[in-house]
Amino acid sequence: MKHTYLAKLLFLLLFVCTGFTGAFAQTGAVSGRILDEKSQGVPGATVLIEGTTLGSSTNADGTYLIQNVPAGAQTLVSSFVGYNTKRQPITVTAGQTTTLGDLALAENTTLLSEAVVVGYGTQRRQDVTGSIATVSEKQFVQGQVTNPEQLIQGKVAGVQITPGGGAPGSASQIRIRGGSSLNANNDPLIVIDGVPVDNSENKGVSNPLTLVNPNDIETFTVLKDASATAIYGSRASNGVILITTKKGLSGEKLRVNFNSQASISKKTKTIDVLSTDEFRNVVNTYGTASQKALLGNSNTNWQEEIFRTATTFDNNLSLIGSVGPVPIRASVGNTVQQGILLTNKLNRNTGSISISPMLLDNHLRIDINAKGSWVDNTFADAAAIGNAARFDPTQSILSGDDTRFGGYFEWLNGDKTLNPNGTKNPIAQLNQKRDRSTAKRGIGNIQFDYKFHFLPELRANLNLGYDMLRSNGSTNVPAFAAIEFANKGANNIYSQKKDNKLLDFYLEYAKQFGESRVTVLGGYSYQDFIRDQPLDSYQASADGTVIKPAFPFKTQYTLVSFFGRLNYNFKDRYSLTATLRNDGSSRFIEGEQFGLFPAVGLAWRIKEEDFLKSSSLFSDLKLRVGYGVTGQQDIESIVGNYPFLGRYTYGENSASYQFGTAFQNTLRAEGYNQSLKWEETTTYNAGIDYGFLDNRITGTIDVYLRRSDDLLAKIAPAALTNLTNEFAYNIGSLENKGIEFSLITNAVRTSDLNLNLNFNATYNENEITDLGKSLPGFQGYAVGGIGGGVGNNIQVNSVGYPANSFYVQKQVYDANGRPIEGLYADLNGDGKSTIDDRYRYKSPAPKVTLGFGSNATYKKLDLAFTLRANLGNYVYNNINSQQAALTGISTNGFLQNLTPDFNNSNFRAYQLFSDYYIENASFLRMDNVTLGYNLRSAADSKPSIRITAAVQNIFTITKYSGLDPEISNGIDNNFYPRPRTFTVGLNLGF
Amino acid sequence: MKKTFVRRFATLAVAGSLLGAATTSCVGDLDRDPFNEVTSDVVYSDPANYKPILAKLYAGLALSGQTGPSGKPDLSGVDEGFSNYIRQYWSIQELPTDEAVIAWGDDGLQDYHLMNWTANNPFIRSMYNRIFYQIAACNEYIRETKDDKLSSRNITGANLENIKKYRAEARFLRALSYYHALDLFGKSPFADENDQIGAFTPRQISRADLFAYVESELKAIETELVGARQNEYARVDQAAAWMLLAKLYLNAEVYTGTPRYTDAVTYSSKVIGAGYALQTTATAKSSAYGRNFLADNNTSPEIIFPVAFDGISTKGYGGTTFIIHASVGGDMPAAAFGVDGGWGGTRTTRALFNLFPDTAADRRGRFFTKGQKLEIDNLTEFKDGLGVVKFKNVKSDGAVGKDLVFPDTDFPMFRLADAYLMYAEAVLRGGTGGTTTQALSYVNALRNRAFVGNGGDITASQLTLDFILDERGRELHWEGHRRTDLIRFKKFTTAAYIWPWKGGVKEGRSVSENLNVFPIPSTDLVANPNLTQNTGY
């Protein structure tokens, strides 16, 4: 096995060595100036000699000079973000500077002909055969954006970004075209400046992307179909998001930019619960004498007490331009964000630097990127949110007895000891738990791009990357606090190290043969991931009892890939992309380690055909079809990194067993599966890119079918055949199919007023099509844990239904439309009411997602907004299901508040599995409105000044009765509410 | 010019060769070994590892995973605390009977009372999964401790002798779990140490065949195990094997249709003759009987096989943590049970209470009545039904256990009183080799201990089978025997005995006979095409 790869490599090296025969051509120079529509110089525009990497960027006045251009006929390509790229044939004379004069670029909101970042390099958008969407800075969501992914929320068809809640830096669920896996990771691969980053669980960091400063980002490129993603085969089944950070440009004057924002955030609403009087009335009406005796005399609105108006300050300073000929960008940023939940806070410091020198007569381009961040988190216990909604409003916050529980009211047993079941005082829960972490992340890479002197068509690229994370944290609770009373307080510390290495090497050969252009790329990629939780983690009670874990935790996995790509373009009309990637993962046994992932995409630029070339209606029309296979191997979260290996793990001291008078530590045989192999996702995609009326209306339509086979599913093997009851097996299939539509229009374009509208819509259908053998009456695999009782699940994965469908009993209603307690339809008709009468009813995934945004500028004023809607997503109202039954007011010697739904249902006992609690959570949300005013544009000696005002989370229209309809897993419980945020900002450019 | 060219070439060559070296080593990097874990092929090379692995087999009964009280669970798809062996076993043996009701509405839990369980019940599935997980782990250990494997690893001398004893204990634990499988589910998937982990499909064997297998295993290890009362505390010995054989034989008629009462007499006699003694010493804080269920019950001379728990070293949310916490609620003082608070779950029905004509005289009948109702109007209301005062995290001297959440109290899986009653029952059912006089003396020994003075003694004419069933309720209630006992007496499903909420109605009713065994969970029917469902499901 090894030898074939060695042979491949030798071949590559040979390929390199035999190339040393080229001759040096004679060269000249090209100069000129790039202007905008108003005939003003465009600084920072890119000018390139087509088919080469020779180029420059324009100076502050729009001028440029490109040296060492091979003599003869060339094409100069001028481009700038937001403008149509212009291609200008030129003739370069050896030893002379060809002056081209002024060249005007027309504004374009569609970026159609821009260079598009694809895996391992760039492509002209017109040549792209896959489904790729680009969002650049201009279209980013504005206001206070702490997490990078929120910059493109609602902006891209087929990309659903659902923040986990309103906590600063909370993780978002990102789904591209639904999830292609059942139990394996459904997150897309995120690549920052060529470094695929580790987005897996981090101790002390809720969202690893928080460690990247959104202000450093220039564009997001989303690769959606397999013909685009296959080059990242091993981790690309759920799409790829390429993040490109801002870079300096050669020859550009150094500019300084200072951006400062201040925000305040407020809760929009709280969970609707009974008022103090209503609650007292319910207890007095239905309660027993001992329950009535528990009532207090106060009137506390607990939810008002746990939230606050929070502030955020966000300051960023950047330097961009070039020092001599070397492009450079450096930035520092600081964000101090309070959460609206008491004590919750995030303090982030970031720094980044990128340097891109060109050496060896511009043949060697070196890109050095380094990004560092330091985040201090103060977490707040989100369980306090549910506890505040539940807490008896007749009790006061403080007990009056300062000697116990820090003076806070807590529920007591009859003998005045703490009632361990009682709802914990949420104010105490927040104030007495100090939960802090510090996380430092460094992402760096150095990329060498060498264009061979003797064969300029051949390019070698070596990318060495590093992604490291150091985090540590502690949780301290004093011994007197009720939340850790049984443990005599808590004093836990933990730390984690992550070291992820990347090596990519590829050779690319690009050449024009007559009307054909061929690009061939072959490469190798090595990635290694180590996660280490050293032994210094321990738990200690505040009284000094120290419990150290007996064994540290450390895990590693490695991916090795060989890949090749062929791009063929004929007459600028017909494009073909063929990709082949051979991926190896250390997570599988030798023999199953490698998977082969092919993809092919075809594009036809119909616009270039004679019959459409002169059409004034169509300014662009392209048909794309693609097919490809990608792999999935990310099953660490369900079975770890060594799932094929029989292993024995050590038991902690707290889980040892008494033999005689001593306690014997244990060794446990772990489950394993030697036949595990790659899950494969096959994607079919067909799309049209269109442009009308000089590209004032552009957009795409895509239809796709994604089928995942050999799903890495966590299922129950036959009893006795494994050393656990559930493990990962390659079993079953899952399908996502859908349609995406996007439209961008430059609706109004006058000298004073410019109005751009963008709209996107996605329809996605998810269905599990196979889960291996099935039998009548087999429910499938329960998922979706809920609050209320212990270990209860509300969702199920079963064949013929969407993943995570709700699995509930069909409620029977009376003549007045009220649910009849405990009465459910006998759906299987056996005359009995049993668990088997449940049915699959709806799922949390929206059928349709819509995004609508606008950017308008009027003279110096600009206004942008984003609206988003999800249709057909359902939520299990877990707040009502555990808080609207009479039994909830008192079970074990304490009282709990109810929600007003009790007045409708009148349930005495919990009816956790009633479909009564499944609600349509379709919504329309106005995410963001930003108003900006350019007080002064950049002039030579004076700084530019721009001020902005933004409001986020302005309104939500929904029928959902709970706090927020947008909940990624569809289970509404302890949800940290998204605040409404008001931001003012100042931007200075020097 | 020339110089730069050479330099470039050199750079390139160096880069190229570095890359070449990197590439070849990197494909090899795909073979990663875990850190801080031992792979199966090396773990057995060290004789010191055999005891920790055996400890895990025992811990399979007491713990739910490798971190106490929770973390790194053995089983998934279920709440870790629920997945504990003793918790599941206690629930499935007690909740469908007259001895216990539970207030909680966890998915499928009330089905035990309503007796409307199906093959999709999560609790039945958890019990099933735990049993067969335990058997699979035992199989692995027994396979790796075969004589030829031990000799190939050059294990000799005292190490070899010890490991052979460990292996016999593993075979006992496997037999115990297969016994539970045959008692609860009837027919069963089957695999032993000769079936390698991986993609084989276990065959299903009948209840009778499994009976024969368990019997043969126990007889095979009868002499390999350490002699009765000679092993370390909490490890099994020959008496445990005899006890399990006695149970097997006593219920043989249910399992195979063929009575084996003489064998039941033989093996319960062996247990009784092994030197165990009833705990007959009361303390100021506890009756003699009650001391078997306290935090220091490891000192009791009558416990034959305990499942051991400890507030610091053996922590979990199953076992006696569950039994004690769940039984405390309402106005019951948690501190008196040695815990920080109750979970408000388990109570009992009028039927158990009525087994005690005089709870003042019979020290075994300890019920908590304050704030509790005798009648159960609502199963999910803790205050409906009487509290049972039996298991506590308090020592004989009244001191509490090491931890207020995780009791030190061990679960008495087998104890001498049970052997006495099995002997008596087997004799009454016609087993030979024993006498009714002896049976009467054993029963009266229990009653003598239970009652103040001799007030509890019965006469020979009072010693009937029905009396034995009632006496088992009085002596052994809440110890996980009741369902098996009721089935043996043909009272579990039939109209011969009705208790409150039997069959899901308040006044109780008879239910279908097929409920005497539980359904094979649908998950395993799907996973294993060799399995067929029990009749009626």
Measured between CB atoms, which of B20, B38, B331 is closest to A648?
A: B38
Close Cβ partners of A406 (under 8 Å, ≥ 6 residues apart): A428, A431, A432, A478, A480, A481
What is the identity of the amino acid at A368?
Answer: I
Q: pLDDT at residue A776 above 80?
A: no
Which chain B residue has its CA at the smallest distance from A535's CA?
B36
Q: Which residues of B touch A647 (CB under 8 A)?
A: 34, 37-40
pLDDT tens digits, B251-260: 999 999 999 9
> What pLDDT sits at residue A127?
80
> What pLDDT sits at residue A198?
77
Across A186-206, average pLDDT: 82
Instruction: Out of A87-91, A628-632, B131-135, pick the least confident.
Output: A87-91
Using CA atoms, how far apart are residues B239 and B231, in angstroms rounded to an integer?
11
Q: pLDDT at residue A15 above 70?
A: no
Per-residue pLDDT band for A16 (boundaries 50, 70, 90) equals very low
Q: How many CB pairs under 8 A join A and B?
A: 363
Using CA atoms, how far apart are residues A67 and A98, in angstroms rounded to an integer?
10
Q: Spelled out in words, what is the top-level CATH class assigned to the domain A115-245? A: mainly beta
Residue ranges of domains in chain A = 27-104, 115-245
Give the helix/strand (H/E) hosting A376: strand A364-379
Cβ count near A821 (within 10 Å): 16
Across B181-195, average pLDDT: 96
A183: left (phi over 0), alpha (psi -120 to 50) or beta: alpha
pLDDT tens digits, B479-494: 999 999 999 999 999 9
Beta strands A310-323 and A255-266, pairing class: antiparallel
Of residues A538 and B133, more confidently modeled: B133
Q: What is the DSSP letter of B374?
A: S
Across A17-21, average pLDDT: 34
pLDDT tens digits, A503-542: 999 999 998 888 899 999 999 999 999 999 886 667 777 6
> What pLDDT sits at residue A942?
79
> What pLDDT sits at residue B4?
47
pLDDT tens digits, A436-477: 999 999 999 999 999 998 888 899 999 999 999 999 999 999
Which chain B residue has its CA at the smallest distance from A361's CA?
B4
| Binary contact (B523, A778; C-beta < 8 A) | yes
Q: pLDDT at residue B238 above 80?
A: yes
| Binary contact (B232, A659; C-beta < 8 A) | yes
B49-77: string of b/e by CB count within 10 Å (b at 16+)?
ebbbbbbbbbbbbbbbbbbbbbebbbbbb
Q: pLDDT at residue A6 above 60?
A: no
Q: What percent of chain B has pLDDT over 90?
A: 84
Per-residue pLDDT band for A113 (boundaries 50, 70, 90) equals low
For tokens 């690549």, what's the residue? A191
Using CA atoms, how far apart are residues A923 and A849, in angstroms rounded to an integer?
10
Q: pLDDT at residue A494 above 80?
A: yes
For residues A749 and A167, is the Cβ–Cβ distance under 8 A? no
pLDDT tens digits, B136-182: 999 999 999 999 999 999 999 999 999 999 999 999 999 999 999 99
Across A922-949, average pLDDT: 87
Q: Widest CA span of chain B, in angstroms?
A: 120
Across A920-931, average pLDDT: 95
> What pLDDT sits at residue A11?
39
pLDDT tens digits, A158-188: 999 988 888 988 888 899 998 889 888 899 9
- To 5 degrees, how large is the angle CA A974–CA A977–CA A981? 165
Instruction: Out of A143-147, A295-299, A816-820, pick the least confident.
Output: A143-147
Which chain B residue has its CA at the smallest distance from A661's CA?
B233
Across B6-16, average pLDDT: 48
pLDDT tens digits, A581-625: 999 999 999 889 999 999 999 999 998 888 888 888 888 899 999
Q: pLDDT at residue B7 above 70?
A: no
Across B437-458, average pLDDT: 91
Across B335-362, average pLDDT: 93
pLDDT tens digits, A119-159: 787 887 778 888 888 888 888 888 888 888 889 988 899 99
> What pLDDT sits at residue A179?
86
| Binary contact (A664, B55; C-beta < 8 A) | yes
- Which pTM value belongs to this model? 0.88
Q: Could you tell me which of A741, A746, A742, A717 has the C-alpha nearest to residue A730?
A: A717
> What pLDDT sits at residue B51?
97
| Binary contact (A590, B35; C-beta < 8 A) | no
Per-residue pLDDT band for A207 (boundaries 50, 70, 90) equals confident
Average pLDDT, chain B: 93
Q: Which residues of A touch B198 (CB under 8 A)?
A: 674-675, 721-722
Measured between CB atoms, which of A558, A651, A792 is closest to B66?
A: A651
Average pLDDT, chain A: 87
Instruction: Say whether A115-245 and A27-104 share the same fold.
Output: no
Per-residue pLDDT band for B24 (boundaries 50, 70, 90) equals low
| Binary contact (A657, B62; C-beta < 8 A) | yes
Q: Which residues of B touch A652 (CB under 8 A)?
A: 66-68, 71
> What pLDDT sits at residue A771?
87
Domains and CATH numbers, chain B: 43-256+473-527 (1.25.40.390)
pLDDT tens digits, B499-510: 999 999 999 999
Measured between CB atoms, which of B58, B137, B314 is closest to A723?
A: B137
Per-residue pLDDT band for A17 (boundaries 50, 70, 90) equals very low
Q: Which residues of B touch A642 (CB under 8 A)?
A: 32-34, 37
Q: Which residues of B touch A650 (CB under 8 A)?
A: 36-37, 52, 66
Top residue of A419, A559, A656 to mutate, by most chain B CBs within 10 Å, is: A656
> What pLDDT sits at residue B230?
95
Of residues A99 and B277, more confidently modeled: B277
Per-residue pLDDT band for A4 (boundaries 50, 70, 90) equals very low
- To 5 degrees, how large is the angle CA A615–CA A619–CA A625? 110
What CATH number labels A27-104?
A: 2.60.40.10
Q: What percent of chain A has pLDDT over 70?
A: 94
Per-residue pLDDT band for A85 (boundaries 50, 70, 90) equals low
Measured between CB atoms, which of B67, B120, B329 is closest to A655?
A: B67
pLDDT tens digits, A355-399: 988 888 888 999 999 999 999 999 999 999 999 999 999 999 999
**Cα B224 from chain centre:** 23
Instruction: Out of A753-762, A773-782, B91-100, pick the least confident.
Output: A773-782
pLDDT tens digits, B362-400: 999 999 999 899 999 989 889 899 999 999 999 999 999
> What pLDDT sits at residue A197?
83
- To 5 degrees, how large is the angle CA B231–CA B232–CA B235? 80
ipTM of this complex: 0.94
| Binary contact (B104, A790; C-beta < 8 A) | yes
For residues A982 and A929, is the Cβ–Cβ distance under 8 A? no
> What pLDDT sits at residue A781?
87
Q: What percent of chain B has pLDDT over 70?
A: 95
Across A280-301, average pLDDT: 91
Measured between CB atoms, which of A526, A586, A721 is closest to B22?
A: A526
